[in-house]
Structure formats: structure tokens, C-alpha cells
Structure 1
Amino acid sequence: MSNKTIEKKITATFQYLHENAEISWEEVQTTKYIEGILRESGCVVRTFDDCTGVIGDYGNFNGDLPIVAVRADIDALWQEVDGVFQANHSCGHDAHMSMVLGLLWRLEQEKDLADKVAVRFIFQPAEEKGAGALKMVEKNVVDDVDYLFGIHLRPMQETKMGHAAPVIVHGATKTYKGIIKGEDAHGARPHLNHNAIEIGTQLVNMIRQIHIDPLVPHSVKMTALQSGGESANIIPGKATFSLDLRAQTNEAMEMLDSKVNHAIDTLKNLYETDIELKSTGEIAAAKLNSDAIEIMETAIEDSLGKEGVDGPLQTPGGDDFHYYTIKKPSLKATMLGLGCDLKPGLHHPKMIFDKKALLNGTDILYKAVKNVYSL
């Protein structure tokens, strides 16, 4: 298989995955599509009865070789695009899958590599729910793994085309859904209930006054508040809301989370109203490994030149990739941050990027794997 053929396959794969996006835990056709490619390339394939996602082992797993895993997230977001809600790959997971499959084709291209490497391809579901990595850990997919590499497209505000960072220093995130539980009252009798909109507004004011160490980036904000109906003369007693918490370290997240819950308890006592708070997602901050970062940095330099190597990329965004290292601390892991002229930004419904970056990402991953084995 020539480099030109691989390039065409990567581009065609991206186009198919982009046009056939599936949301978290529903990536059924995506799983089948990737499974077929893995089998065609001679991988030992594993799927699961109770969840989507697929694992492919390529190379020599019978000897003493270190096992290198490469993870691609496979789910899309559910969002409004041109007035229609649909599954949409606005976070670049279609690109991640295409580049990781490109890595497989590059390895397959060199027939003599099959006995010299042991590479596990992890196509993981439900990253957008912050739950897919934990499910894969539960399935023991990294129990015997020594190195783990990930990849993520980066917006142009963070790095530019032709550049890449050997590590993305993600922060911790946590989301909540809340319900303010009360009864409605007549607009002329505000003394008969507590206005759920006013309670929600009070919560916004309270969380804006939360302060922790200013040297550690953090934020907490209300991202949804729904209350009331068509009748303007009814004071609503019930409301639903969402909260989004972010902190650069796991320790800061614990403190932020504690203060948010304290604010909720304070409001419950002040208004004598039941407020139910339920966690809907949680992602841990990155744990860094110098060995993996050094391997990836060398791979970037070998692929893009020394001028293409960026420093560690710190971002308030989160990724459940880091649960692999939290659950297995001995794992040497890092996530490549790929410059690709991505705009206007991740999760924007019209997100676009330079498709030539797919070849850069594939080549960097290929060189990183070879670097592990000193090939």
C-alpha cells in the first residue's frame, strides 16, 4: 500500500465518519465500520455485548514487547446545525478515528514491523459523556498496556497548522443537573410560594462569589435555567438548571465542588425548599508522564521539524482520556495536541479545519509508536 493510497483512505474514512456521526453510547454503525477495517488489516478484534466501541490488537503480543495503546474517541455531539438538531462531529472525533486508522495502515505498510511491535487500537465510545474511558477500563483494555497515546485537534487560538504539542494539560470538569421543587402560586399572591426563578437567580449570584486560589484556573457557571410556562400570572415554584464546573487541578475541583454544594444547601435552608442536585458527568485533570511526553516530542520533531514543536498545551477543556492513568498509575500516557487551523472553535456547529493535518497527525503517531521500540 503506497503513501498516496493511505492518504486517500484516510480522507475517505474521515468523510464517511463525518457524514455518519453517532452520539454517545449509540455508535453502533461506527463500531461495525471500524471493526471491519481492523479485521481486514489482520488485527485481533474485540467488541462488547453491553456497549459500543471496538479494540484491535496488531503485531506481536506473544513476546516481551511493551504494549503501546492508541486511543481514538468515536462519539459525536448532539447539537443544532442550520436549525436542525443532529449528531455532529464538531469536536474532531471523526478526524481522530481517521488518523488512528491511518497509523494502522502505516504499520501494515511495513510488513517487517508486525513482529517488532505490539499496538492496541482503542476506539472508545462516549467521551462526550465522560464515561467511555471508565467503561474501557472496566473491560480491562489497558491492564497489560505500557504506553498510551491519544490525539486531539486543537483550535487555531492554541496552536497553528504545522505545529503540535506533545501533551495537552486538560483540566478537571464536572456537570450537574438540578431541580428546584416547589408549587406554583397566583401572581397576585407572592407570599404563598417561593419563586423558583428568584431562587435560580440567587444561585447564579452565589456561585459567582465563589473564590479559590486565583493562581489555579477555575470557573463555575449556570448553563441552563428553565421555569414557568405560557401564563404570565403564575409564579413558578419549580425550575430545572444545569451547572458547569472547571478547574485545572483535581484538588481545586474538589474545593470548587464543595463550595457549590454548600451554596445549594444554604439556599435550601434559606427558602425552605427542596433542591435536588445530581451529577451528570465528571472528568479528571491530566496526569503527566515525562517518558511519554518525550517520546511524543521527538515524534513531532521528526515529523514537523524542531520549529513545529510547541510546549505543553494547557486548556480548561476536559477529556476522559485521563481516567486511564488515574485507574492505572503506572501507565505512561500523553495526548498529542495537533495544530490544524481549526476555527471558529471546538464544539461550534460549523467547526472546520485543514484536512492536510490528518496526514501530520498520522505521521506523528506512527513515529511515536516506532520511537517506543527504537525502530
Structure 2
Amino acid sequence: DGHTAILLATARQLARISERLHGQVRLVFQPAEEGPGGAEPMIREGVLEGVDLAIGLHLWANLPTGQATVCSGPMMASTDEIEIVIEGTGAHAALPHQGIDPILVGAQLVTAIQSIVSRNLDPLDSAAVSITKFHGGEALNVIAPEVRLGGTVRTFRDEVRQLVKQRLQGLIDGLCAAHGATGKLRYREGYPSLINDAEVTARVEKVCRDVLELPELLPDPRTLGGEDMAYYLREVPGCFFFLGAANPAKNACYGHHHPRFDIDEEALPLGVEILLRLVEDYLSP
């Protein structure tokens, strides 16, 4: 609702100065950002037709009100989902030699996956491969016939994304073969990485400094979180930036997905002013 309020207020202010603008502004609200993502269908419906550049902001719980941060190049990661099924042979827990234990294979796989980032990627590349669920078995005295694992892969570069995918498949195949099990990988590519245009980012940074009266913005905002604004920035040059909205004195100090998340509403007029200045910067004669 904070983003909606900022954009509605921006629309109201733009209507008041529309005669001074040499160009058109398209205001886009963001449907289904947390999933499955609304940007792709909106692009298919023509939201970017005639658009020369795109600018977006995100109120950021990790930054105090009155601060902002942005960088050119990759700023947010691609967000892929993985599901792994390992099939063995069930057996009584007292007779493990009569079965093929998929839990053992899965446990070794979870450990082996941690080597992808630490040993297969250039140390200067950022990535995360996190296994977040592991399900197998019901009874305490039975070796389960199947194990299901799931998690997420986050990368900045497509080359790294494909390398991680290949290494996952290789580890699954190798460990399953070593134990006589079988494994399947379902890899679903999600949002692409969000890449800011250098020229647009420089203008956004200057406007943020001017509005917030800061000599410099906070450095290195990169995060392995994802954002479907990335789809727009793959089609047209643009910039996505973070605007601080944290204020512990107002209890606005919790993370974005925390049940007590809140924003400092003092950040809202700052967001409006930044967007207005950017429009004027680009469209004033």
C-alpha cells in the first residue's frame, strides 16, 4: 500500500504540471510481484509499447527513512525454484541392506550442493543455492522408498544460472548412481536478474541525492532477492532503486516478510518528490 500511495500521489501531482511536460508518463502499478509475477503478462498486453525507459522504486525496510541506495548493473537476482525426487527401495529399518536408502542419498546431496557456490563458481560471482525442504518417510522403523527436496537458486548472471543448473543435475546423477537410486530434477526458472542501465541510474542517483539532501547514497544495494521489475528492464533501459522506510522509533523496523512489518510513512512524500523530479528531469524542455 505504500507503493500504491506513492504512485497515486505522483499521478495527482503530475496532472497539475502536465502542461509543462514535453512527453508522456505511464504509471504502472505492480500486480502479483511476490508470485507468479505480473510484469510478463502486462508486457504481453502492451504496457511497454512506446516506452523509452522505466523507473521503479521499492520502499526498503533495511534502510532508515531519508536514505536511498542504487547501483548500475545487476542489483537483484534471478529467482529459480528446484524440486528433487530421489527414489530408492523401501525396507525395514532393521534390514537396511535389503533396500536403497533415499534419505542417505538426499543427505549427501544437500551437503554436496553446498560445494557448487564454494567450488564451482568464480569467487567474484554471487549466488545462493538453498535447500529449504526435505521430506521422506513416515514410520520410525521403515526406510522410505522416496525423498523429496526443494529449494531456490539465486544468481546475477545467466551464465552462472546455467552452470548451477548443470552442476545440480550432475550431483544428482552421480550420487544416485553411486547408491543405486534414481533421481529427477525439476528446475523452474523464475524472475530474471534485475539489471539497471548505467546512464539512467546516474540520473536517479543524482535526483535522490538532491531530494534527500545527501552528499552520497548508501553503497552496494545488491541483494539476492528477486523482483519482477527485471522483466521491464530487459525490454527497455531503466533503473530500480531502494528508498529507506525504516524507523525503529515508530516500530517500522521489521523485515519485508515479517508479520509485524510496517513502514515509516514519512518516506512516502520523499518517494513522490523523487519520482516527480525524475519526470521533470527527463520531460522538461
Q: Is the 8 A contact 2:61 2:245 kept in 1?
A: yes
- Structure 2 residue aligned with 1:343: 253
Map 1:206-225 → 2, pairs under 5 A: 206-210=112-116, 211=119, 212-225=121-134
In 2, the alpha carbon distance for the partners of 1:373 and 1:166 equals 22
Q: CA deviation at 1:306?
A: 3.2
Structure number with the bigger relative contact order (C-alpha 8 A, sep ≥ 6) is 2
- Structure 1 residue aligned with 2:4: 97
- Structure 2 residue aligned with 1:110: 17
The alpha-carbon distance between structure 1 residues 237 and 372, as it changes in their structure 2 partners (threshold 3 A), is same
The alpha-carbon distance between structure 1 residues 177 and 360, as it changes in their structure 2 partners (threshold 3 A), is same
Q: CA deviation at 1:163?
A: 1.1
Does residue 146 in structure 1 map to residue 71 in structure 2?
A: no
Q: Give structure 1 stretches of 5+ with no counterpart.
A: 1-93
Q: CA deviation at 1:339?
A: 1.0
Q: CA deviation at 1:221?
A: 1.9
**3-state SS of paired residue (2:27):** strand
The alpha-carbon distance between structure 1 residues 222 and 108, as it changes in their structure 2 partners (threshold 3 A), is same
Which residue identity does 1:358 align to in structure 2?
L
**3-state SS of paired residue (1:323):** helix
* Alignment partner of 2:207 out of 274, 295, 299: 299
Which residue identity does 2:257 align to in structure 1?
H
Map 1:184-223 → 2, pairs under 5 A: 184-210=90-116, 211=119, 212-223=121-132
Q: Is the 8 A contact 1:295 1:372 kept in 2?
A: no
In 2, the alpha carbon distance for the partners of 1:254 and 1:272 equals 27
Percent of pairs with identical residues: 27
Q: CA deviation at 1:271?
A: 2.9
Q: CA deviation at 1:336?
A: 1.8
Map 1:176-325 → 2, pairs under 5 A: 176-210=82-116, 211=119, 212-229=121-138, 231-307=139-215, 309-311=217-219, 313-325=221-233
The two structures have a TM-score, normalised by structure 2, of 0.86
Q: CA offsets, 1:213-262, max 9 Å, x none?
A: 11122221211111122x21111111221122122333222222221221
CA RMSD of aligned residues (A): 2.3
* Alignment partner of 1:333 out of 238, 250, 254: 238
Q: CA deviation at 1:141?
A: 1.6
The alpha-carbon distance between structure 1 residues 370 and 312, as it changes in their structure 2 partners (threshold 3 A), is farther
Does residue 128 in structure 1 map to residue 34 in structure 2?
A: yes
Q: Is the 8 A contact 1:207 1:220 kept in 2?
A: yes
In 1, the alpha carbon distance for the partners of 2:186 and 2:146 equals 16
Q: Is the 8 A contact 1:338 1:361 kept in 2?
A: yes
In 1, the alpha carbon distance for the partners of 2:83 and 2:219 equals 36
